[in-house]
Amino acid sequence: MTVLHIIEFPDPRLRLRAEPVRVFDAALRQFVADMFETMYAANGVGLAATQVAVSQRVLVADMSDARNQPLALINPQILEKTGSQVYQEGCLSFPGIFADVTRAMTVKVKAHDVDGEEVVMEFEGPLAVCIQHEMDHLEGKVFVDYLSPLKRTMLLKRMEKQRKQAASA
């Protein structure tokens, strides 16, 4: 397996809408395995293909403490959203930045697994937040888009300051 390079905001590739996966083959399975390897190496709980500069509708997630509940969704679509929750989100493409975002409490999602089989799953709580966050990436949307302009500007300035400090260290 390979650890892929995670692109960081403001890379314009994060704003691209991902293309549907049409071929379910060994190359896709390898890419999904590499995405899991990358997410675990970065200590993340979710990763979208667009974050590794691949414009395909693929996401992976694993919010388990033991890192033993890997979930891969190909071409995911939200069928239903219910409820509301505020959750502090972070993002591997925004290192060190966290903000409260309001999202649905429960989502019902239709997707394909790595073998091309259609699945319908329901997620709630933090995992529902994670799935919505990663699906946003596939649409070219990032979590700071949900913030007020002032809050977004403050967080992005903080991120830029952290980058400059890291570069000079």
Q: Is the pTM of this model over 0.85?
A: yes
Count how many domains the chain has. Answer: 1
* b/e sequence 94-107, b meaning 16+ C-beta within 10 Å: beebebebebbebb
The encoded tokens of residue 136 equal 């946003």
Amino acid 134: pLDDT: 98
- Position 39 in a domain: yes
Report in angstroms the alpha-carbon separations of 116 from 48, 108, 135.
18, 18, 18
Domain range for 119 is 12-162
Query: Is 160 a residue of the active site?
Result: no
- Position 104 in a domain: yes
CATH number for position 123? 3.90.45.10
d(CA 18, CA 114): 17
The encoded tokens of residue 14 equal 């994060």
Tens-level pLDDT at each residue, the chain (169 residues): 899 999 999 999 999 999 999 999 999 999 999 999 999 999 999 999 999 999 999 999 999 999 999 999 999 999 999 999 999 999 999 998 999 999 999 999 999 999 999 999 999 999 999 999 999 999 999 999 999 999 999 999 999 999 899 888 7
- Position 2 in a domain: no
- Position 158 in a domain: yes
- Position 85 in a domain: yes
- Position 147 in a domain: yes
Task: Choose, from 80, 118, 124, 134, the residue flagged as catalytic.
Answer: 134
- Position 4 in a domain: no
- Position 123 in a domain: yes
**141 in Cβ contact with 89 (< 8 Å):** no
